[in-house]
Amino acid sequence: MASEKEKPAVFAEERKQQILEIIRKNQKIVVPELCSYFGVSASTIRNDLRDLTEAKLITRTHGGAISNSKVSLEPLPETKECHMHRQKAAIARQAAAMVDDGDIIALCTGTTTMELAKHLTEKKKLTIVLNDIRIAAFLEEHTDFTLFMLGGIIRRGFHYVNTSGNPLPRISIDKAFFSCNGLSAAMGATLPDYNLAVNTAEIIGLASEAVLLCDSSKIGTLAFAQIAPLEKIGTIIIDSDADPGDVRELGSCEGCQIIIAPVPPPVL
C-alpha cells in the first residue's frame, strides 16, 4: 500500500470535504474519531483541520472542531428547490433572454439552471451540454433540442454526473450557465463539493462566455471549493432582493458584469 505521502493530492481535498460533511451532521468532531474514521494519523487530521480553519470553514476547539454556521454545505436537491424560488425564477427569465436560437450552451447542475431550462422551451435549434440527469430528462421530454450529456459517476441522492478522471470532449460552447452555493469578492463562486467545483470550472472553460446565476442568499457565503474568481466570470445575474452594497462590491471587479433580475412581488 502506498504511504500517506504517496497518495494523490485530490485525496486530501476529498477527505477535507468529508470532514465538513461530518461536522455538518454532528455540529462538532474530535481528532481521534476522525483518525479512526479515515485511518490516518493525528498529525494528518490536525493539518486538515488547520487548513479548513484558515479557510474559515470550521472553528477549531481543544482536540477537535465545531461547525461554522456561515459556511455553506451542500443540501439535498429537494431542499434547495423550494428555497428562494421566486428569485431563482427571475434570474432564469433574465438568463433566457441571453440565449439565441441556434446557440450552443452548457447548463451545469443546479436548481437555478433547472429553472433556466424551463424558460428555454420556446427557443429553436439549441444544442445543450449537460451534466445533470434531471435537466436532461426535462429537456428531452419538452423540447427537440440536441442534448450532449457528459459521462461519469452519479452520487446517490444527487442528480449530477461527476466527470472526474474523464477528459472533457473538445467542443466549443457559446455560453455556459452555472450556479454556486457561495459568492464573495474574495473567493468568487464556490461549491461545497470539490469534484463538482473542478468539473464546473472545466465546463465553463470551454465556453466563450461564463454566466453565473446566483440568488441573493448566496452572496457573502463561502463554500468549500472555488469554481472561479470574479475576474474569470464574465456575467453574474443576481436577483433584485440583493443588498445594494453587496452588488456594488461584486461589481467593482474589473471585467465582471452584474445584471439585476427584477423579482415580482409574491402572490398573496
Please check whether the domain covering 77-261 is classified as CATH 3.40.50.1360.
Answer: yes
Query: What cell does 184 get?
Result: 464573495
Tell me what pLDDT residue 79 has: 45
- What's the gap between Cα 4 and its chain centre? 29
Q: What is the mean pLDDT of each run of 10 residues along the chain (268 residues)?
A: 39 79 79 88 90 81 77 51 80 98 97 96 97 93 95 64 66 96 93 90 95 94 91 95 93 90 80
Q: Which fold has domain 4-67?
A: Arc Repressor Mutant, subunit A (1.10.10)
Tell me what pLDDT residue 254 has: 82
In the block, residue with C-alpha cell 429553436: 124
Tell me what pLDDT residue 5 has: 41
Q: Tell me the pTM.
A: 0.73
Tell me what pLDDT residue 4 has: 41
Domain ranges of the chain: 4-67, 77-261
Tell me what pLDDT residue 212 has: 98
